Structure 1
Amino acid sequence: MRADDALLMRTAFFGLLAAAAAFLFVDLREMTLARAELPGYDPMTTQRPVLPPALTDGMPQMPLVQPETAPEVLRQPMRFELMPGGVLKAEGAIDLGAGDRFAEEIAARGEYVKLILLNSPGGSVDDALSMSTLIREKGLTTKVASKALCASSCPLVFAGGLAREAEEDAILGVHQVFNGGEDRPSPEQAMSGAQSTTARIARHLDDMGVEPGLWLHALETPPDRLYYLTPEELAAFKLVTEPVATAREGG
């Protein structure tokens, strides 16, 4: 076995262990009622801030840059706007069905679309993975503009870009994500679902050429916090394919 393959397998293995540990840390009784708590994970609800505090040991800290878009706009179901120059803007929460609507939009626009401009607090993992896969199949570029947001499952969409760009002051962050299934999953079901989702995400990021270490930060960060990625980390994890550009350079 090549050294690179062995390293990847170890990383995926420890990632799964981290996911299991994170869910075991949660009180089993609370996990049994997890479905009742799901509104706290949904960016489309008003109970949860669109931009959660950073994960810290002390007082929660907000990022230095705030999104330019109003929270009520970001909470709306994802919508698509065709812009000049082959740019398709995808803005809002990744609701259930966003992946299908995105596929319809791409099919309708033919070869005109070249770049997907993201501004989203995240949402459905399945839809994010579906969008990301289609973006890669079409060879499109993904971009997060200055003071735009790409958080939670949105970086999975961003990872699909054949080229991936982030302007200076773009806000990218990750945290624990999972798909809701049963109305009230048992602890075992919640654990199984978390591990399955983690494995799918790790495999997808590897296929997209993103370093798997990125998702370890997500696994360590509760859903009510965000791990904000620095420009240096964006480059180190290969989430961007070129250095972070200033707004002037990014166009």
Structure 2
Amino acid sequence: MKIGEAIRRIDDGVLMRCVFYLLIAASAAFLVVDVREISTANAELPGFDPMHDDQPVLPPALTDGRPAAPPVEPASPSEVLRQPIKFELKPGGVLMAEGTIDPGAAGRFAQEIEARGEYVKRIDLNSPGGSVDDAIAMSKLIREKKLQTRVNARALCASSCPIVFAGGAERMAEKDAVIGVHQVFNGSRERPSAEQAMSSAQSTTARVARHLEEMGIGSGLWLHALETPPDRLYYLTDKEMTDFKLVTKPISPAPQKAGS
């Protein structure tokens, strides 16, 4: 068989995955340089932690490399979003998850789901993100229980929150839902060595990419995250959320108030 014929017979999906992981490797290589420069300057790793008062809950958008405001201002005040994530049961089997995904959030979430039995059918998210490990664990449990996920109009789902959202067996977003991604980073106040930071970033990036692939999310979503610095957000458009299969149902309009 000629080489050209053999290449043509390779599954397109295999080629796409190869390209995707090569891009991840290239991104990690650039990260090594960035982290070493930061370490040399005796500065902290870039990024934001929404639970710290000296940093914004909502980073500016990345627009051609320039910061800009988010497309829609979230309805919840910063004081609410900075709090460790809380779970509140709503009518109709809806569990509201609101606040920052702090370390240990996945354990509390699992306890909440276990305590509610089969009553919970959907998770509504309003979170600026937080711990990636906890977000992955929450996402896996949501998929295991075949729960739905939703982001309501003017609710926020940013940073690691879309990882949780991706776990939904069905995933819905209302018009004007604020959903954004960026690079993973060390949100701790501790200063790891350049080698530790690089190793952690590579490992976390690979785990997130693998998890999103398992959830059926298009690789383009994570490529946008890799291209966006940790102190910025790439806000997803309705079309991108559909194209990347982040939503499984068409973007729904926000419910109208009575008399409007």
Same fold (TM over 0.5): yes
Residue equivalent to 1:2: 11
Superposition deviation, residue 37 in structure 1: 3.0
Residue equivalent to 1:30: 38
Give the TM-score, by structure 1 length: 0.92
SS in structure 1 of the partner of residue 61 of structure 2? coil
Superposition deviation, residue 210 in structure 1: 0.0
Letter in 1 for 2:63: T
Letter in 2 for 1:143: R
The structure that has the greater radius of gyration is 2
Contact 1:31–1:190 under 8 Å retained in 2 = no
Contact 1:168–1:244 under 8 Å retained in 2 = yes
Residue equivalent to 2:236: 229
Contact 2:35–2:197 under 8 Å retained in 1 = no
Match of 2:25 among 3, 9, 16: 16
What does the per-residue CA deviation read over 1:134-160, in whole Å, with 9 as the maximum and x for residues that have no partner?
000000000000000000000000000
**Structure 1 residues 73 and 188: CA distance shift in structure 2, 3 A:** same
Letter in 2 for 1:145: N
What does the per-residue CA deviation read over 1:166-199, in whole Å, with 9 as the maximum and x for residues that have no partner?
0000000001113568943221221111111110
> Equivalents in 1 of 2:35, 2:110: separation in Å?
39
Tell me: higher relative CO, structure 1 or 2? Use CA pairs within 8 A at least 6 residues apart: 1
- For structure 2, the residue ranges without an aligned partner over 5 or more in a row are 1-9
Aligned positions of 1:86-235 closer than 5 A: 86-179=93-186, 183-235=190-242
How many aligned positions are there?
247
SS in structure 1 of the partner of residue 55 of structure 2? coil
Residue equivalent to 2:5: none
**Structure 1 residues 194 and 40: CA distance shift in structure 2, 3 A:** closer
Superposition deviation, residue 58 in structure 1: 6.4
Superposition deviation, residue 20 in structure 1: 2.7
> Equivalents in 2 of 1:150, 1:244: separation in Å?
15
The alignment-based identity, stated in percent, is 62
- For structure 1, the residue ranges without an aligned partner over 5 or more in a row are none
What does the per-residue CA deviation read over 1:45-72, in whole Å, with 9 as the maximum and x for residues that have no partner?
1122111111134652102310100001
Runs of 4+ in 1 over 6 A off after TM superposition: none
**Structure 1 residues 102 and 46: CA distance shift in structure 2, 3 A:** same
Match of 1:74 among 77, 81, 87: 81
What does the per-residue CA deviation read over 1:94-118, in whole Å, with 9 as the maximum and x for residues that have no partner?
0000000000000000000000000
> Equivalents in 1 of 2:180, 2:64: separation in Å?
18
Aligned positions of 1:55-74 closer than 5 A: 55-57=62-64, 59-74=66-81
> Equivalents in 2 of 1:184, 1:33: separation in Å?
12
Contact 2:50–2:82 under 8 Å retained in 1 = yes
